[in-house]
Amino acid sequence: MSATENRLAVLFPGQGSQEKGMGRELAEASAEAAQLWTMAEKASGLPLREIYWEGDETAMADTRSLQPAMTAVTLGLWFHLKSKLSPLVGFAGHSLGEYAALAASGMVEVPAVFELTSLRGRLMAEAAGGDGRMAAVLKLSLTDIEDVVRQAAESTGKILLVANYNSPGQYVLSGEAEAVEAAAALVKDKKGRAVPLAVSGAFHSPLMAEPAAELEKALRRAGLRAPSVAPVYHNVTGRPEPDAAQALDLMCRQMTSQVRWIDTLAALWQAGARTFVELGPKGVLTKLLAANLKECGEPYTGVSVAKPADAAALEA
């Protein structure tokens, strides 16, 4: 396979990929990785290493700690392995993971990304007092899901939308609780499956407008630069945005906008990516590749790297 055929895309996972002990092996072996945890703990004011190396599932699921901690893990892997990850088509991160992508690309300073993810985690946790819910929908076509959303929203008079386009066959609904529950019943009627998500609000929906406005202030203070390593493919459009001002506008919309992961992977493929390297625990994004790329008609490689020992897969 030539260098052109083997061009890389680097993927960063988001919430839901956390696991106990994540990032520990690398941080104990690398001063650079340990420094990222220090930055994350300073920005968040939380004992992140204690939570994720010694804590329980409940503590690890708290978005206030999870967002800066996951960013420390994924960026640690990037800095440890970046010399092996070329030639690069671009970066993409799923929801929270887009912030790691920004830092890896050179669009935002590393200390600033921990300030942003700590604030984002806190704002999203504070949104838990609202009426928002999310549910993954499996085994239905997008046409059927859009019909479910329309019917549930009309019958309840509540906000509901498709928030995540993860892959053909896997979508996520977000909205007010009554509408999400009505949609789940309709999904069952259509022989699909609705799985409630353990999240604290209706993320990637208009119900996040208030916390998004607070996050926008911090984003505009931090600012974005043009990417210096490779472009970031944004959740809001599924495409790269080389203009820093336009990219900043997209990030300001991210919390209330849909995650267009299907479009993101399609755009990376069209740009020449044939190897997709996920940096982070569990390999959630790697598992989504098959459904997204099955019609592309060419071979591809998906590699999940959660710890230094997994890097051997990159050589293969």
Q: Which residues are identified as catalytic?
A: 95, 204
To the nearest 10 degrees (0 to 180), the angle between helices 63-81 and 110-126 is: 150
Rounded distance between C-alpha atoms, residue 55 and residue 69, angstroms? 13
What is the maximal distance between C-alpha atoms in the chain?
56
CB 159 within 8 A of CB 153: yes
- Cα dihedral 268, 269, 271, 275, rounded to 10, equals 80
> For strand 170-176 and strand 160-167, is the pairing parallel, antiparallel, or unpaired?
antiparallel
Peptide bond just before 299 cis, omega within 30 deg: no
Token pair of 258 as six digits: 């849909």
Q: Is 197 helix (H, G, I), strand (E, B) or coil?
A: coil
- Cα dihedral 46, 47, 53, 54, rounded to 10, equals -110
Rounded distance between C-alpha atoms, residue 302 and residue 286, angstroms? 6
CB 22 within 8 A of CB 66: no
Q: Is 83 helix (H, G, I), strand (E, B) or coil?
A: helix
CB 76 within 8 A of CB 104: no
- H-type alpha helices, the chain: 24-29, 31-44, 48-54, 57-61, 63-81, 97-105, 110-126, 142-156, 177-189, 209-222, 244-253, 261-270, 284-293, 312-315
Token pair of 287 as six digits: 């598992």
Q: What residues does 167 pair with on adjacent strands?
A: 170
